[in-house]
């Protein structure tokens, strides 16, 4: 069986043209016929997106009817976090808040959903890592603590914006330093495989880098991966087909 998955930091629907339009993002990705979409930076009812329920809109136009959102913070009369869209019913959903070293830093989360794909149990995680290394390591330790408790016969797929090599240097300003090895990835690769994507997925005036990717359990295979270029966010999407 083939499972098609996409991870996408949707930047609350805002494209490089400054227009907020979740519908065009969803319709653009719909042509890949995904079964699962991992989303980061979703707004729900906030003022900046005119009180839109963005995960509902995305779900509607990409035609994946099952959805779950993990709320990490309250923001401008609404909420902000990550999401998972699925072609298959979601049997269980939980959102785990990542550890913070500084309460002034943005709260991030680990959204976990469990679904059944045929006779196989899938554990899906959408993550958006912090913008400093120390908190990313703590987040990875928390994620590993969760996946260690999953039965070895079940499947794990993690999609997200891992922010590897990224450090915050000011308000809405970040720098990126490329490395041949990232501590966070090395920790996860003790348990999981990583897809082979190397193209830049994030773009800013200060830097750019390949920070969006997927990890998967060793009882499945990644048979095709593509970086999806788009101007509808400051991130490209990443598509992978898994043989399960």
pLDDT in tens, 66-107: 999 999 999 999 999 999 999 999 999 999 999 999 998 999
Whether 62 has a pLDDT exceeding 90, the answer reads yes
Alpha helix (H) residue ranges in the chain: 22-30, 54-62, 133-147, 183-188
What pLDDT does residue 168 have? 81
Q: With pLDDT > 70 as the criterion, what percentage of the chain qualifies?
A: 100
Cβ atoms of residues 42 and 74 within 8 Å = no
Q: Higher pLDDT residue, 120 or 212?
A: 212
**Domain 2-243 indexed as CATH 3.60.10.10:** yes
Domain positions in the chain are 2-243
**pLDDT on residue 118:** 81
If pLDDT is split at 50, 70 and 90, which confidence band does 217 have?
very high
Question: 89-93, 122-126, 149-153, 170-174: which has the minimum mean pLDDT?
Answer: 170-174
Residues 6+ apart with CB under 8 A from 7: 37, 38, 40, 126, 159, 160, 161, 212, 213, 214, 237, 238
Residues 1-29 pLDDT 10s: 999 999 999 999 999 999 999 999 999 99
Average pLDDT of every residue of the chain? 96
The model scores a pTM over 0.85: yes
């Amino acid at each position: 069986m083939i499972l098609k998955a996409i991870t996408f930091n949707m930047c609350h629907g805002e494209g490089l043209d400054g227009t907020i339009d979740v519908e065009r993002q969803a319709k653009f990705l719909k042509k890949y016929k995904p079964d699962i979409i991992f989303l980061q930076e979703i707004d729900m009812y906030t003022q900046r997106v005119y009180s839109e329920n963005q995960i509902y809109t995305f779900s509607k136009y990409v035609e994946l009817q099952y959805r779950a959102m993990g709320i990490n913070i309250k923001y401008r009369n609404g909420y902000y976090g990550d999401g998972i869209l699925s072609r298959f019913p979601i049997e269980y959903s939980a959102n785990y808040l990542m550890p913070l070293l500084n309460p002034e830093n943005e709260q991030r989360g680990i959204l976990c959903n469990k679904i059944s794909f045929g006779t196989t149990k899938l554990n899906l995680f959408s993550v958006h890592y912090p913008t400093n290394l120390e908190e990313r390591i703590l987040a990875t330790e928390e994620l590993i603590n969760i996946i260690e408790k999953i039965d070895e016969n079940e499947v794990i797929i993690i999609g997200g914006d891992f922010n590897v090599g990224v450090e915050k240097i000011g308000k809405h300003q970040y720098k990126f330093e490329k490395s041949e090895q990232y501590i966070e990835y090395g920790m996860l690769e003790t348990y999981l495989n990583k897809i082979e994507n190397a193209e830049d997925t994030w773009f800013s005036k200060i830097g750019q880098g390949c920070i969006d990717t997927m990890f998967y359990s060793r009882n499945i295979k990644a048979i095709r991966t593509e970086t999806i270029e788009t101007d509808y966010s400051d991130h490209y999407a990443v598509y992978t087909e898994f043989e399960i």
